[in-house]
Each structure stands twice: as C-alpha cells, then as structure tokens.
Structure 1
C-alpha cells in the first residue's frame, strides 16, 4: 500500500508542477536506473478482464436513526476436491454506494480499505429509504457489485394475531369474505402413516373468531371467495379442473381445464364472471381466464418458456377492482443473467398482453400482488431487504405515484411466501408468518 501511495504522490506532483519533474531528474541524476524503475513501476497497470475480484454479500440492519451496513466476501465451502472458487483475487478496497430511492442513481458514499467490512450511515443524510451495494475493487481486475439491499427507517407497524383461519395445527392458504363473516383455509391432516389429506374448510366468524366450520372437500387448496362472498373457487387435481362451490346451496361444479395440476391459485374478476389463473411447469408458463359459467379457457399470454428467464412465476395473482388488469409475478432478464429479477406485471384480461410492470433492481423477487379494495394500493412480498436467505418483507405500492414503502414488522415476524397478503378494508392487511418456528396468521394496520 505504501508503494502505491508513493506512485500516486509522484503522479500528482508531476501533474501539478511541471518543473518538479526536472528537479527530481537533476537531483537523482546519478541513480538514473532507480528513477526509471520508479516511473516504470508507477505506470497504470492494464486491467485483466479474465481475472475476477471476490464479491461480497451485503446485509443492512436499522438501529434507531442509522443504517448499519455489513458485508462478507463470498466463499465456497467444499466437501469434495477440487474446490471451485468464486474469484481469482481479493478486493483491495470497497466502495459503498447508495441510492436514495427504489430505482435511484447510485452515488459513492465512501471508499473503505479491504479490512473494513461495516459502516454506519445516519438516516438524516439519506432519508427514510435507501438502496445500497458494495463494489469490490482491485487494480488488476474489473470491479464487481454485491447484492442490492433496500432498507427503511420507517416506524414499526403494530400487528396482532389473526385467529380467523381454522382450528387445525397446520393450516395453509386462506381467504376472507369482504364482510369478514366467513373465512376459508386448508389443513394438512395425516390419516395413516405416510398418508395425508388437505381438507378445505369454510369457517363462520364472529369478531374474527371462528365459531363453526364446514368441510367443503377432503382434497382442496388455493381457494378464494367470489366478490359477493357467495361462492368459492379452487383448482382440483383429482377433478382436473377448477371447482366452483356455492356456499348457500352447498353444491359444486367443475370447470374442466388442461393442466389443472399446474395451477397454484385463482383470482375472480370484480363482476364474478371470470376466473384468472396461471399454469406453471419446469418448462413453461402461461396466463389464462375462464368464464365461471363454463366453456373453454382463453389464453391471455403466449407460452413463456422458463429457460428464457422471462416467465410467469407460480405465485398468487389478483384481478384489479376496476377489472382492467391482472397482476402476476414475472421473472425477467435483459440480455444477461446479471439483470435477472422478478417484477409485478399487469396483464390485460382482454388478451392484449402485458400492459406494464413495476421495475425493480437485479436479484430482487417481488411476488404475491394484492390490490386494495379501492384499487389505489398494491401490497406484495419482496426479497429486497434480505440478500442471504431470500426471506420476504411486506411492501405496499401507491399505484398513483408508483412509490413503495415497507410495512415494517416487529423483529422475528417475517412474512411467509405461502400466503399472499389479504386486505381488510383499505388500511389493514392479513399475512402469514413463521414466528419461532411456528406458522401463524397476523394482521397489521398501515
């Protein structure tokens, strides 16, 4: 490091004082060989594009009014030889780069030596939300970016346990009627050793407490209520179709569809006349709609091959309250895998394809979109706050301004990807979370 500092000093001196170079030559006229050696050594070294500098993984914690950034170099733990590595050379320094908004321009906040792997940044300098990355640098290699992490100093939102989903120990899925009088959910029950069923129930609620339940089907999952709360719809592998269940008559009918086993969930149109769903396999994906009165399913997208990294993910979807768009989670990439990310995309229910999408940073996964009843907000889950485990945090996007904000929850309350946020009115969300290894449902006021 001292040698590099000497070279830098000579460069600065010869640039700012041309006469200084002459003085140095005269002063060092006798050890000419030493002078030439120094200047030749101080020439800029060419960057070797075949070399790789070791990247780091970034995490951000929020402590009071500070962002605490910390990072560690990525390394491979090998159980067999030879051991592959992620890089040829170690970083000589790290550039801490910050953007003050979701898609803002990155600016270098500080340059740190290689032995420094953390920094505290006052929120007063940055604002309520930041996006950060760490750039690993070495003079002989191209620079490389870390993962990108978004953090917020927003206040903690108050949440409470939500009891409306069932009497069973292991419950998944779930939906609530607009009036809050009924809930539906799926359980997991072991009938005999190694044999399980997934009974689908509808519960009657009183003050959000289930006071009665009714079995709809011994094998059911991914059910959602119609907008008027009078019907259920859910995909069925055994019936190879989508089941529409009438709550009052306690009768069901099947809408036959191809590849019913590849359907994860369904979404009702606001007028109750249509159901949207996706089929997703390891090879391809597609968005569909089918009339609740029956008939053939209509494709709303072409087949989107998974291998091209531009496909609809197997996640929950939602139909906008005005009926003009269907929100899905879509993986996408532009030209290189370095730009891979998952965005919330809006598709036309009339078959005109993708209308728009909410762009995000590379590596982020935005999933499980859910419109507020008034259509002004869109809740979703995102991996943008955690670069290690890809765990999700809860976010809300203002559909008028496009701005996002994190709904910050108490420590240890991490939303689960098994459930899409459900709105109760326009100011409250129900979500699933795992707390101390136990899954439960919670509600939070915005």
Structure 2
C-alpha cells in the first residue's frame, strides 16, 4: 500500500525548496566594475577603489542590468606578468585595503574583482605600483631659452650637442618651425645655430655628425650634415603621415613609421638615396593591431627596431600596447614585451650600451591618463620605475633621451607647464 505524505510535511518541503539560494548567473546582468588607485605610504601599498557608473551612449539603452557588487576580491601579483592570487575578500562596504610591502615585494600589481551571485564577476584594470626610491631630477637647460616652447628635442649621447624646434607665429594664422642646433658645455648652451626656418623635430645620427628630420614641404626626409652645413632630401611617398625617424647605428639607414587614420606601417630608407622598403605589411587601425603614433628606436647592435604596438588578440578585454621589436631585414616582428590588459607602454629608447630600454607606461594609472617613467634591464628582463617627485608628470609626447648609460632627459608637466628635466638612474 502506497503511503502519501502528510500536508504539514509537504508544506515544510516546499518552504525548504524556496529557501535554497539561487545559483543561476544571468549573463545579461553586469556587475559594476571599480576604478582602482594605488599609493605608496611608508612600507605599505594603499589600495582604494570606487564603483564605475555604467553610462549608456546609445538610444534606446541596451537591456543590461547594472548591479552592485556584493563583495570585492583583492587579487595581487608581485611582478608585471605574475599570476594573480587572492589576497583578501571584502564585503561591499569596504573599498580600501592596506598591504604591507613585505608581503608583496618591491613591486605590486593589483586588480579588484567585483562579484555578485546573480552576474558574472568583473575585473578592474590592473594597476602597478613600486616601492622605488624617489630619484632626484633637475631642470634641463640644454634647449636654451625656448625650453617651454620646444618640441622634438634631441641630445647626442655624450651630451655635447642638442637640437630642437620651436613654433613661431609670423602673422595671424601663419607659423614657422625653426630648427636649431646648440653646442653644450656642462648642459649650458654655448652657441646656437639655425638649421632651417621650416624644420621639424630632428634626431642625431649615432656619431652626432648629421641630423634627420621630416619635411612635409619637400615631401621627404631631410639629412643635414653639421660639418658642411649642407642638406639633401630623401623623397618618400607621403611625408604627411611620418611619425618618427630612427638612425641605424652605422648611419646607412633610417627607419620610420607611417601612421594615418586608417593604417600603419614600418619602413626603412637608405641614407645614400633610393627607394624606401616596407618592413611590415599594412597594419589597419580598425583591427587594433597596429604601430602607434610613438617614437621608434634602433638598437645599438643594429638587430632590432623598437616600436610601440597596439594589440588585442581578437578580444576586446585584452587590448594593450607593448614595446615590440621588428627586424630591419623585413622578416617581421621578432619579439615583444607583454603587458597586462589596458596598459600602454610607449616611447621606447635604448641606452647607448644596448643593455637598457627606457619607456613610458600608463601601468600606474587605472584610466591610462597619466604616464610614469620605466627602465627595462634587457639582460634580466626586469623593469623598474624611475620614481619622480610628486607633481612631476612625464609627457607621453616625448621619448626619453639617454646621456650616457645612467642618465635620462625627459619632458614633463608641472602644474600644466611643460619643461625638460634630467634624472640620474
């Protein structure tokens, strides 16, 4: 004989079933991500974050739920590409944490994972911080009285010559860009000579005897001999889109990048004259894998041309910009220094001995709006931050220049005023 369950027992079972926690995750919902900041205080890393409001830029607004996080998982790594590990889980009311440097080492990479049981977790952009000591920097006078209006300043590696351009308004709406070369003694300008009224940002050859600069008026690259004071033009297809020039160590070639609104490409051209050779295929901007508008540099041993390249690996959440090496023989990309998603590494510059690579990076800023100065040891692969005084913010418009192997010249803003500074490593 079958026995039926009593009514009270059925009620209890029904209530128990209704009280089970829901484990279904709705992929249409989105947990609100956070904006992470890291500051260094004594021997501690101080992390703080705030939820980012999701702003709808289309009409009608997509049907995506914006839910608050129920908890935050603090994940950390001790190197730029180290595996993240969970440091602590905090409830939604806690939006800061102090991490002793002793438990995170000299450098810390962190991200905050926002979690809600009804939606997939969302990572914040990773942020990197360093316990590096503050390096003493000083105003650099090698670009003379025009220093606040200078662009494209370059220095020979021995620090005895500088070249720079300025913008001068001749009549309303009409500008010229005179190019100068100065002889320096103890960083001070001794003599200054005008090279061209319609010059541009120039770069020295490795031996400091020649200049190369872009001339859109002549649709080419100008090579100027400092001893004979003579110039000649290397015609190119379209100088309008040339962004940066770099000399080969032997002075026989110039590498340059072209970056338009649609595509980018790397080239080289013989300084003796002749046609330019493409070193890369066309890299469309729309594919987010392209050479960026950044300075490039040729390694002192002649083996590599360093550029800043955007890459996304066909995934919108993996976009970043890396320093990439290309072969001057046209065989393509040789290597690149991987970064965390969203980081921008740009403006690469080799030290004269080829053992170090200076660059600027947005890795210390969640939103990528400010840049910091870094140096990579090319023998060990390790990076270190060249930490500057508070308020001294390097400009991403200028590649650091080396004077010897232990000193860098960089452009920075202090209270929104641009100037040039030097720092000993």
* TM-score with structure 1 setting the length: 0.90
Select 2:29's aligned residue among 30, 48, 51.
51
Shift of 1:35: 5.4
CA contact (8 A) 1:54 1:87 kept: no
SS at match of 1:52: strand
Using the TM superposition, give the Cα deviation of residue 178 of structure 1 relative to its aligned residue in structure 2, in angstroms.
2.6
1:257-268 equivalences in 2 (<5 Å): 257-268=236-247
Which moved further from structure 2: 131-140 or 387-396?
387-396
Shift of 1:82: 6.8
Unaligned runs of 5+ in 2: 1-6
- From 276, 301, 306, give the equivalent of 1:327: 306
SS of the residue 1:62 aligns to:
strand
Whether 2:135 is the aligned partner of 1:172: answer no
From the CA coordinates, give the structure whose radius of gyration is larger. Answer: 1
In 1, are the aligned partners of 2:290 and 2:311 still within 8 Å (CA)? yes
- Which of the residues 336, 340, 359 maps onto 1:380? 359
Please state if 1:198 is matched with 2:177.
Answer: yes
Residues 168-210 of structure 1: CA distance to partner in whole angstroms, max 9, x if unpaired? 2411111112332210011122222222222111112121111
Q: Is 1:273 equivalent to 2:255 in the alignment?
A: no
Q: What is the rounded CA distance, in whole Å, between the counterparts of 1:204 and 1:84 in structure 2?
A: 62
Of 125-134 and 203-212, deviating more is 203-212
The Cα shift of 1:357 comes to: 0.4
Shift of 1:77: 6.5
Q: State whether residues 263 and 290 of structure 2, in contact with CA within 8 Å, keep that contact through their aligned partners in structure 1.
A: yes
Deviation at 1:377, TM superposition (A): 0.7
Equivalent residue, structure 1, for 2:201: 222
Alignment pair present for 1:293 and 2:272: yes
1:135 aligns with 2:113: yes
- Deviations along 1:75-119, whole A, 9 cap, x unmatched? 256899877798521111111100111101111111111121111
1:311 — aligned with what?
290
Mapping 1:275-424, distance limit 5 Å: 275-424=254-403
Contact map agreement 1:54 1:86 (CA 8 A) in 2 = no
Residue matched to 1:94: 72
Give the counterpart of 2:84 among 88, 106, 110.
106
Structure 1: 5+ residue stretches without partners: 1-28
Would you say the 8 A contact 1:344–1:357 is kept in 2? Answer: yes
Contact kept? 2:204, 2:210, Cα under 8 Å: yes
Across the aligned residues of Structure 1 and Structure 2, the Cα RMSD in angstroms comes to 1.9
1:145 to 117, 123, 127: 123
Asked whether 1:156 is paired with 2:147, we answer: no
Q: Is the 8 A contact 2:28 2:64 kept in 1?
A: no
Map of 1:184 onto structure 2:
163
Determine helix, strand or coil for the equivalent of 2:316.
strand
- Cα separation, partners in 2 of 1:360 and 1:79, compared to 1, 3 Å: closer
Contact in 2 for aligned 1:75/1:85 (Cα 8 Å): no
Does 1:425 pair with 2:404? Answer: yes
Segment of structure 1 superposing worse, 76-85 or 343-352: 76-85
Shift of 1:40: 3.3
SS at match of 1:388: coil
Closer, same or farther: CA 83–209 of 1 in aligned 2, 3 Å:
farther
By how many angstroms is 1:233 displaced?
Answer: 0.1
Cα distance in 2, alignment partners of residues 120 and 238 from structure 1: 57
Contact 1:222 1:266 in 2 (8 A): no
Name the residue aligned to 1:71: 49
**1:32, distance to aligned residue in structure 2 (A):** 5.8
State the aligned residue count.
419
**Of residues 211, 236, 250 in structure 2, which corresponds to 1:232?**
211
Q: Structure 2: how far apart are the matches of 1:266 and 1:87?
A: 49
For residues 303 and 47 of structure 2, the distance between their equivalents in structure 1, rounded to whole angstroms, comes to 41
Distance in 2 of aligned mates of 1:203 and 1:84? 59
Judge conservation of contact 1:272–1:292 (CA < 8 Å) in 2. Answer: yes
Partner Cα separation in structure 1 for residue 160 and residue 277 of structure 2: 33
Change (3 A) 1:412 1:303: same
Q: Is the 8 A contact 1:222 1:264 kept in 2?
A: no
SS of residue paired to 2:354: coil
8 A Cα contact 1:75 1:86, kept in partner: no
Query: Which whole-Å CA distance do the structure 2 matches of 1:239 and 1:73 have between them?
Result: 52
- 1:252-281: CA deviations, max 9, x gaps? 100000121111221000001100000001
1:76 touches 1:84 (CA, 8 Å); kept in 2?
Answer: no
CA distance in 2, matches of 1:87, 1:129: 36
Cα distance in 2 for partners of 1:76, 1:84 equals: 11
